Chain A
Amino acid sequence: MTVFSAPPAGAVFFAGTHNGRRGTHTLRMDRITDLKQTLTALKRRLPAEDILIFSFRSADGRAFACVYADALTDKDLLGEQVLSPLMRYRGAPAASAICECVTAPEVRRCGSLRQLADEVLAGNPVLLWEGMDEAASVGVKKIPVRAVAEPPTDVVTRGPREGFVEDFKTNTALVRRRLKTADLRIDTLTLGERSNTAIAVCYLRGIAPKTTVDAVKARLSAVEIDVLPDSSYLTHALSSRPHSLVKQVGTTEKPDIFCAKLAEGRVGILADGSPIALTVPYLMAEDFQSAEDYFVSAHRATLTRLLRLFALLTAIYLPAFYIAAQLFKLQLFPIKLLLTIAGSIRDIPLSPSLEMLLVLLVLEVLNEASIRMPKYVGMALSVVGALVLGETAVNAGFVSTPAIIIVAFSGIGLYAVPNLIEQTSVLRLAMLLTAGSVGTYGIVLLSAFVLLYLVTTENFGVPLAAPFAPLVRRDCKDALLKYGLPSLHMRPKSLLSRNKRRMK
């Protein structure tokens, strides 16, 4: 038995012709016939050093070779379930007989070199033997995966704590575990010319609209990209307005939420290597909901949803209104508050807009740094950022206390709806700039712009602002308000689900 990682010297390439112009060999024929030639051709296709070939003979002296990717293969399983049985094998060289001999549960026959190469790169060892009519690949890959854990972006105090991981199969297993029905369809496709990333389009047959499923597949198939590192790369393809700031694709890291969305008639997308699952069609109201809302009383859930909306609106509008009021309309402040503010800002050298922009900038920098920095310097940054910078800046008279309070509240408020943070932080800045230049009327106009844009945006035929615009009364039972479970016996009408009723 020998293990080698480089093609043998002087190898002759089967079906290879010399391309005089480019000086490279191309394979015209892709068929598998002879062991030695196939092996050479395969190694030619996969010249990387981590692609290994293990040669051995069966009990009747037939030559076998196993080609595998070193880091991706479970060698224990390969030895136990594939190599040991084959070393004891005596019989015909037919692929069917060889496949039966192998005790691994996942064995596929491969008829072309390209297929063989794809299987090896996917982590499935391929078997070649003397006198073969077809080769075989065995599913014994062992990809290093992170354990299933609670996602840091969606922590709950009650409810399931599992989160998606980077492994595709684990993720599909987590979905399948919750939806044990034949109607759950997981259609896979491969995207990325070089990454060959597996993508799963998940939906419940009979519930998800066929038009949506077909449209999702069509849009995904149209993606032309060489490497697809994460599912977020697909959001542009799935959006009707790809350059828009507005979010048009739902995201989740939790399989329970993912399955609940599938059960409402949405289509889910899982990408290999990404713990973020995508769901379409997306409604803006989704991001005001939390998994926990369904595990607590409806009254509490309604209250928290309204609080989230209040926090978000305050976070976006408070800095802007504060600036607009200071610059253009002092009447907006109650008189006592006005006196307090006047006392605080008396000696500030910066204009109100510049002061607020500066404090917001500091907050954004602190926020960015605290996400990226190592955890052991977290405490130091908190001290430096919150205490030293904040307090010293106020004492030194660079910024006023109200500005710090407003920005702090705004910063916290945005995180009440964490999934919209990308959009809301930009919107807050836009509001602030508008308020500083045009005043309160600017805020009104920009809000009108945003409203008009939101209500006219649709994706997969579903309006983003539904169930509020257009108003769908039935769906309002689980939008900002949360009715009790018995009232939610119908699936959301806005999603155009094929099966309307989910509970009797």
Chain B
Amino acid sequence: MSAASTVSAATGEITYLEAIREALFEEMARDPNVFCLGEDIGAFGGAFKVTEGLLARFGEQRVIDSPISEIALVGAAAGAAHMGMRPVVEMQFIDFLANAYDMLTNYVATARYRAFLPCPMVVRGPSGGYVRGGPFHSQNPEAGFLHTPGLKIVYPATAADAKGLMKAAIRDDDCVLFFEHKYLYRRVKDVMPDGDHVVPLGKARVAREGSDVSIVTYASTVWKSLEAAEQLAAEGISVEVLDLRTLAPMDDEAIFRTVKKTNRLLVVHEDTRTGGIAGEITARVSETCFEWLDAPVLRVTAADIPLPYAPPLEDYVLPQTSDIVRAVRRLAAY
């Protein structure tokens, strides 16, 4: 275990945040082409301290404190990546990806296709709500990028996946958007698997086995779905929870497998509803598994509302465990 982490002496567990930091340390030590750039990531260690300790270990050349310039960060990462470097860009909050939307979608996502330019780079940052962050520190903007061919999207739910997927993302030969859930940063922990722990992109994980209803979800709502499954088990409803882990490429086979097993599908995500990823998953299942379905595919998502700050408002807008329980009951009744 590297010096990057604060391993609990009692359990050997580290947090989701420490797992990401550990992946960054290990990959920078493994490959001199890997470097980090972002706002306040060096001396300060990042707004959430994900990059704490990197500057002291790897120096200013490889841990670059940048101006407040998301376009320049993503653009410069692309240029360096063309030349064989493997940059890891931090968005201080993932909400600011919007500032670099042109650079990501027009430049980076098309580079390999239109010009055979490699773009091995990771853009990572704290994402998501349930933290009273208000409209600009709580977003889940992944759906807009899922719509863009040429980008890969990762959104882990567990600490072990956070590390293993980050290592896979850094080693991938294309641009990976790596969403880190800030609610999970210090709330979930795992013992890291031994050795070089790499979780391949594009492979979903069955987080809980069940036989009556399937929930397909990712990131924070994996945990809410597991809570719901526990409550529903007491009612005699057996719920299978599939954690997608990677949104692009999406593990269609795993989705279809669980649908064919339970014949009832609920898609859950924290992002807003319209044009969201749940709609895309519903369409894929409808096109491919229609005859296996015993009920309509249902969605539990955030309402189509900019995320408000006050706890009663945020809690009302975001999906809660009770919403998932209610939707599963409706599906089970078919």
Query: Do the two chains belong together in a single complex?
Result: no
List the interface of chain A (C-beta within 8 A of B): none
List the interface of chain B (C-beta within 8 A of A): none
